Structure 1
Amino acid sequence: MKNIFDIKTEHDFLAASLMTFRYQYDNVEVYKKFVDYLKINPEEVDSLAKIPFLPIEMFKNHQILDKNVTSDLYFQSSGTTQMNLSKHHIADENIYQESIYKSFEQFIGKPEDFIFLGLLPSYLEKQHSSLIYMVDFLMQKSAKPENGYFLYNHEDLFKLLDELKDKKVILFGVSFALLDFLDYCNSNSSTFQHSNTLTIIETGGMKGRKEEMTKDELLKILQEGFKTDKIYSEYSMTELLSQAYSLGENIYQCPNWMRILVRNAEDPFNYEQEGRTGAINIIDLANIHSCSFIATQDLGKTFGDQFQVLGRIDHSDIRGCSLLVS
């Protein structure tokens, strides 16, 4: 199978997607049963629109894994202990690491050039977080002594950011924690002097900790609080091994081995035209040993090769990284 990280053209992507579909139909039992249940002949699947997308809820109750591999590593979705959490088994973590590195390099820059700080308290407090694995990996590649995580010690974070104001710093932050940090800064009359050296990457997730607001409202508050023109965002989830990035304005771009399709929320095999709102389907070819074709419960729309996330379908389960409505 062609290395997914060598994909350059739409023809390459289509060919790799169809090859991956047939491989997963043959080797991922749950996916095969799903396709058969829909009475779809895999030999007749010759376009992205004809590929069946597995409902993301299947990761809650089934092991989605290639029968030819074993897996000790898994990621688990965030949520309360009362919730049935999704679990994604990872057979080859090298694929995830390469996906992390190449996506970050494509949209932000080389990890080696940055100091990485994490304001991710809710994720640090739980095990098996794919987000923490990602930030850990970027920190390892960076190898800067200042790299580190912060829970609720806002004073220490502010002091460190002030010390690093002339260096290139990435601050990954869950949405509610970034807002809490700005509340601390405001209450202590602390202001930022970073100009263009600090990049904020918010990862979503209000988690019931703050009053709900739209994504645009959140970005405006963060822009004003951190005194920056742009707040970056990262879009991924437990069930994916790839990340899309927004470089501002809540508009995301995918790496070359990932695509977004927007389906009609009532008819999963009917796709919306560009600019029209529907439910998000994701093709993530890095998921070679689980399922690369996932029907999410997120709402969005596409603009050429970019997309926007607008919230969630009504009545769908609450997920850790997608509680902001826009």
Structure 2
Amino acid sequence: MAIELYHWQYRQNPVYRKWVSLMTAEPYTVKTLAGIPALPISFFKTHRVLAEDQTANCVFESSRTTGMISSKHYVPNTDWYEKGSVLGFEQRYGKLDEWCVLALLPAYLERENSSLVYMANHFIEKSAHPSSGFYLYDFAELHKKLLELEAAGQKTLLLGVTFALLDFTEKYPMQLNHTLIMETGGMKGRGKELTREELHSLLCKRTGLSSIHAEYGMTELLSQAYSMGGGRFHCPPWMKVLLRKEDDPLEIMQAGTGLLQIIDLANIYSCAFIATQDIGKLYPDGSFEVIGRMDHSDLRGCSLLVV
């Protein structure tokens, strides 16, 4: 399917076609996943990455600091994003209608066109729990709600941006037994930067949980990978991570540490083959860790956490 989609995107996506033509003299001879040229993620900042016959009805935009250019992902059909995000979550965590979803995403709610806010809002709707909803900076109300849900034994997902989770749990430490905390990254330059291990250890100490979960996603992707603890992410079946050498975009590695290259088959109408600026480690079962970011790469909301 990936090879078939590669050929289609080469024909239909002018930005990707031009990049592939620069990368290889024989674009139609590609027969392996490792041989598919990956588009640098920075192209989403400077180009309209979209198939020629498509019109975007939604544009997801990355967070940025002053002076930085945001990435834009032009999406023709948000139904596809909604179905994929729900299926990816439910394959790991069960049906959403069993969960109460609390979203602590203040930095993202304060701007428009966040794909994370869109996904969280859809999760809240799918959960159909009366207490599901967004929280901005009303930590007292969130604390009260969590105590009520814990007392009722309700399975609860607290999906939060990193700095907000740290601020909330510092002010309201509590023992959680029925709540799953999932951090999405995003320090936004606020306070001391922590490694993921330090962050999770601190959150566990304040909440009594044995592990902290995490979500790996970005504006340029329509799929998400999840870590159920320990910072090791697992992809849904239509998403795959490859490892490439930092100094050679054409050399795919089987093991070790390198730059993460992502195949996301949900990116049908943009580009399914993305060369990220994340440095990571790949495991034999296809799971991966994020270790950091390439030097001189832009800092963005979901990646300002040094991991």
**TM > 0.5 between the two?**
yes
What corresponds to 1:300 in structure 2? Answer: 280
What corresponds to 1:284 in structure 2? Answer: 264
> Equivalent residue of 1:255, what SS?
coil
Residues 196 and 231, structure 2, Cα contact 8 Å, conserved in 1: yes
Residues 162 and 193, structure 1, Cα contact 8 Å, conserved in 2: no
Query: 1:83, CA displacement in angstroms?
Result: 1.3
Residues 175 and 209, structure 2, Cα contact 8 Å, conserved in 1: no
Q: Return the TM-score normalized by structure 1.
A: 0.91
Q: Return the TM-score normalized by structure 2.
A: 0.97
What corresponds to 1:78 in structure 2? Answer: 63
Identical-residue share of aligned pairs (%): 46
- Using the alignment, how far apart are the partners of 1:21 and 1:56 within structure 2? 16
Within 5 Å, give how 1:194-233 maps onto structure 2.
Answer: 194-195=176-177, 197-233=178-214
Query: 1:193, CA displacement in angstroms?
Result: 3.5
> Equivalent residue of 1:106, what SS?
helix
What corresponds to 1:176 in structure 2? Answer: 163
What corresponds to 2:7 in structure 1? Answer: 22
Query: 1:309, CA displacement in angstroms?
Result: 0.5
Task: Please state if 1:36 is matched with 2:21.
Answer: yes
What letter corresponds to residue 294 of structure 1 in structure 2? I
What corresponds to 1:256 in structure 2? Answer: 237
Residues 213 and 325, structure 1, Cα contact 8 Å, conserved in 2: yes
Q: Unaligned stretches of 5+ in structure 2?
A: none
Within 5 Å, give how 1:110-125 maps onto structure 2.
Answer: 110-125=95-110
What letter corresponds to residue 67 of structure 2 in structure 1? Q
**Per-residue CA distance 1:91-121 (angstroms, 9 max, x = gap):** 1112111111110011111111100001100
What corresponds to 2:174 in structure 1? Answer: 192
Within 5 Å, give how 1:30-109 maps onto structure 2.
Answer: 30-109=15-94
What RMSD over aligned residues (CA atoms) do the two structures have, in Å? 1.0
**Per-residue CA distance 1:76-97 (angstroms, 9 max, x = gap):** 0011242110000001112111
Residues 298 and 312, structure 1, Cα contact 8 Å, conserved in 2: yes
What corresponds to 2:146 in structure 1? Answer: 161
Residues 24 and 32, structure 1, Cα contact 8 Å, conserved in 2: yes
- Using the alignment, how far apart are the partners of 1:106 and 1:125 within structure 2? 30
What letter corresponds to residue 11 of structure 2 in structure 1? D
Residues 173 and 203, structure 1, Cα contact 8 Å, conserved in 2: yes
What corresponds to 1:312 in structure 2? Answer: 293
Point out the more displaced range, 78-87 or 279-288: 78-87
What letter corresponds to residue 258 of structure 2 in structure 1? G
Residues 279 and 292, structure 2, Cα contact 8 Å, conserved in 1: yes
Q: Unaligned stretches of 5+ in structure 1?
A: 1-15, 186-190
- Using the alignment, how far apart are the partners of 2:54 and 2:43 within structure 1? 19
**Per-residue CA distance 1:224-254 (angstroms, 9 max, x = gap):** 1111011110000000000000000000000
What corresponds to 1:145 in structure 2? Answer: 130
Query: 1:171, CA displacement in angstroms?
Result: 0.4
Residues 282 and 293, structure 1, Cα contact 8 Å, conserved in 2: yes
> Equivalent residue of 2:278, what SS?
strand
Point out the more displaced range, 33-42 or 58-67: 33-42
Residues 311 and 323, structure 1, Cα contact 8 Å, conserved in 2: no
What letter corresponds to residue 247 of structure 2 in structure 1? E
- Using the alignment, how far apart are the partners of 2:222 and 2:233 within structure 1? 16
